[in-house]
Amino acid sequence: MSPPAPAWPLPRVFAHRCGGALAPENTLAGLRIAAAMGCRAVEFDVMLSADGSPWLIHDETLERTTNGAGRVCETPDAVLQGLDAGSQQHRAYAGEPLPSLGDAAALCHELGLMANVEIKPATGFEAITGEVVARRISELWQGRPLPLVSSFSPAALEAARRAVPRLPLGTLWVHPPADWLHHFNALAAFSLHCAADKLEETVLDQARSRKIPVLCYTVNDRSAAETLLARGIRSVFSDRIDALRSL
């Protein structure tokens, strides 16, 4: 099976968690800032609520980034809808809502942003999260180039692949293991994503010789980004989209 490719070219910079460090993470405010800063692509994290709906949030619990408490997977949509996801970062963002995947998709379309949706399953919900997020993406991006979908969870990616076979997938690792290519091929993935400081030259060589795009997180220094791009890394995820502007 040959990997499905996104119908869009990979930009050099993805704003990490929507707008990087310039806005509260995984918020619509972040998407607006990313677009205003000239970013063409964003990455965000998606997890299921107690009702099985996809929402943008990084942690399994609500405390760090919202005014809520408890596990996302045990919290109903009606509660998530009323949370403040902005004031933990800065009071200027008080009242910034926690976005659903539908909210984020609509704003990406409006702003012309390409997306890397990172499936972030709560422990024990890996396969169902992959399946639900993939199906919802296919509805929300209908008639448009599909987003690139990644996850640290192989079970989530396998479920996403089964649910929507044409979805472009990125295998995401902190440190790619020796058998990363086996996982990549089994998923018919499109891209390899990993921590910038854990990318070994042997892995990069393997990817390069197979024309597999390599994307690295989280790169906040302009000269570090330039070095990575010169080594053949296709894109970096960054919190400092201001420092990496026009790269």
* Residues with catalytic function: 16, 58
Kindly identify the residues of this chain, within the stretch 61-120, that bind ligand G3P according to CB under 6 A.
Answer: 118
**Least Å from the CB of residue 142 to ligand G3P:** 24
Helix and strand element counts for the chain (H, E): 8, 9
Find the binder of ligand G3P among 28, 172, 212, 219 (CB under 6 A): 172
Does 234 contact ligand G3P by CB under 6 A?
A: no
What's the CA gap between 234 and 104, in Å, rounded?
Answer: 24
Which region, judged by CB under 5 A, interacts with Mg ion, from 19-27, 49-57, 96-104, 111-119?
Answer: 111-119
At residue 10, what is the residue type? L
Find the binder of Mg ion among 118, 126, 158, 239 (CB under 5 A): 118
End-to-end CA distance of the chain: 34
Instruction: Tell me which residue of 50, 55, 22, 53 sits closest to 36, measured CA to CA.
Output: 22
Find the binder of Mg ion among 45, 96, 126, 131 (CB under 5 A): 45
Where do the DSSP E strands lie in 113-221? 114-119, 148-151, 169-172, 191-195, 214-217
**Least Å from the CB of residue 174 to ligand G3P:** 8
Q: Residue 49 has which token pair?
A: 């609520």
**Least Å from the CB of residue 218 to ligand G3P:** 6
Q: Contact positions toward ligand G3P, by CB under 6 A?
A: 16, 43, 45, 58, 118, 150, 172, 193, 217, 237
